[in-house]
Amino acid sequence: MTAVTPELLTRFDVPGPRYTSYPTADRFVEAFGENDYVLALAQRRAGAPGKALPLSLYVHIPFCESLCYYCACNKIITKHHDRGDVYLRYLAREVELHTAHCGTGQVVSQLHLGGGTPTFLSDDKLRELMAVLKRSFSFAPGGEYSIEVDPRTVTAERLAVLAELGFNRLSFGVQDFDADVQKAVHRVQPAEQVFALVESARRLGFESVNVDLIYGLPRQTPESFDRTLEQVKALRPDRIALYAYAHLPERFKPQRRIVPAELPAAPSKVAMLSRSLQQFMDAGYVYVGMDHFALPTDALAVAKRQGRLHRNFQGYSTQPDCDLIALGVSAIGRVGATYSQNAKTLDEYYDLLDQGRLPVVRGLALNRDDLVRRAVIMALMCQGELSFESIEAGWLIDFRRSFAAELEQLAGLQEQGLVNVTGEGITVTAMGWFFVRGIAMVFDRYLQADRNRARFSRII
């Protein structure tokens, strides 16, 4: 940890993808549409019996009762909960269209409800949604079933309903416990409320509780964030996701309400990250990678130790490499060698479903080079090591010849102590884990050819 200096963090403070996929979503094209997606579903269904990849489901619930100024998610601000009722009817149609193409009873080992605010839906509507999903898919025992929770929208009683519905993992959006920062981003939630909910979640037997934090928000200082870190350590969630705030008001309209003069300067952001890394490690958390920390007993930390870590559109996962069916407005999925994204507006999403069509409006069919590079990037992002022999055997290439330019770039990272490159492969060092996005970027063919990286968040 002593080697992860503010100077090194500053050096890597550049824009870059998060690699929840490769190629990244900004490479999707409108030439990829419903027909391409239906073909991918048909190919999955036609696969050898019992040999299909496990299935993951993502359901996007876009509604929120109030606006958080930092938010870059696809969301709809409304207090009219009947809009959720209409949305559920269309979600049910989308599920029916999927099962028409890939059959009922597909085994699901992972479910994630995101948003927006999934708990915008009432308990009865969440029951209705889960009933629709369980009629169409077969949920595997011991799977990972998670939901994002706004602490302001739930009680201990509501958490009990989530447990009853089969959810075993919760993610609480905290961002910062400082009252002044909360006011600046229009998200006021007392720390006592979060502590009480986490205690209730443990009493109810949830397997894992995650807390989301953001550094770089308006009115934050290294000292104020230190106080939040102390409270988080006292809360002791099983997992922590620590994100850097990306201020892109030209792309995300809500961020225009943030006063630029109140944003912390770059040195303060670096100090917050540096102190966070040190504090969480000192508190016994395992640095899983990217922005994620977990207690040693948590399934995510265990998966990292055992080399079973994977990555999908929700981030790091313990589940094996799998297809992802994404439901709801703007949701992004992966089936076979394709990525797809649904319509981004409710009007277009509803209109396509009214026509009896799957609401896919863009995506990508991966070519051979994409697939090889995805294998390389995901090995580095998840296992922290890459065997030349395994890539060569799997893809029938000469790794050193195919990636000569990339290996030359890695030489500079090796001099900085971030990677070790040998005749057998590449290994990310303990220090290199903190900069794994920068290491993966070396193998991103699209990024290397594109100097306009402003659309990505910064690595630090």
Binding-site residues from annotation for S-adenosyl-L-methionine: 58, 70-72, 115-117, 148, 175, 187, 212, 246, 332
Of 186, 192, 113, residue with least CA distance to 151:
192
Residue ranges of the binding site: 58, 64, 68, 70-72, 115-117, 148, 175, 187, 212, 246, 332
Q: Tell me the backbone φ, ψ of residue 289, rounded to 5 degrees.
A: 145, 160
In sequence order, what E strands does 266-373 have?
Answer: 286-289, 292-294, 310-312, 315-317, 323-327, 332-335, 338-342, 360-365
- Could you tell me which residues are beta bridge partners of residue 188? none
* Sheet containing 360-365: order of strands: 286-289, 292-294, 239-244, 208-215, 169-175, 137-149, 106-115, 55-61, 323-327, 332-335, 338-342, 360-365
- Alpha helices by DSSP H, 30-178: 34-45, 82-102, 123-136, 156-164
In sequence order, what E strands does 314-416 have?
Answer: 315-317, 323-327, 332-335, 338-342, 360-365, 385-387
Q: What count of residues does the chain have?
A: 460
Give the span between the Cα atoms of 326 and 313, in whole angstroms. 10
Helices (H) and strands (E) in the chain, counts: 17, 19
Residues in Cβ contact with 347 at an 8 Å cutoff, skipping those fewer than 6 apart: none
Task: Please say whether the beta carbons of 244 and 458 come within 8 A.
Answer: yes
Residue ranges of the binding site for [4Fe-4S] cluster: 64, 68, 71
Whether residue 151 has a cis bond before it, omega within 30° of 0: no
Residues in Cβ contact with 89 at an 8 Å cutoff, skipping those fewer than 6 apart: none
Task: Give me 219's structure tokens.
Answer: 């009115």
Give the span between the Cα atoms of 71 and 87, in whole angstroms. 21
Torsion angle (degrees, nearest 10) of CA 22, 112, 362, 21: 0
Interior/surface letters 85-94, b for 16+ CB within 10 angstroms, e for the rest: eebbebbbbb
Q: Tell me the backbone φ, ψ of residue 111, rounded to 5 degrees.
A: -135, 135
Give the span between the Cα atoms of 229 and 235, in whole angstroms. 10
Of 225, 268, 295, 269, residue with least CA distance to 457:
269
Give the span between the Cα atoms of 404 and 388, in whole angstroms. 12
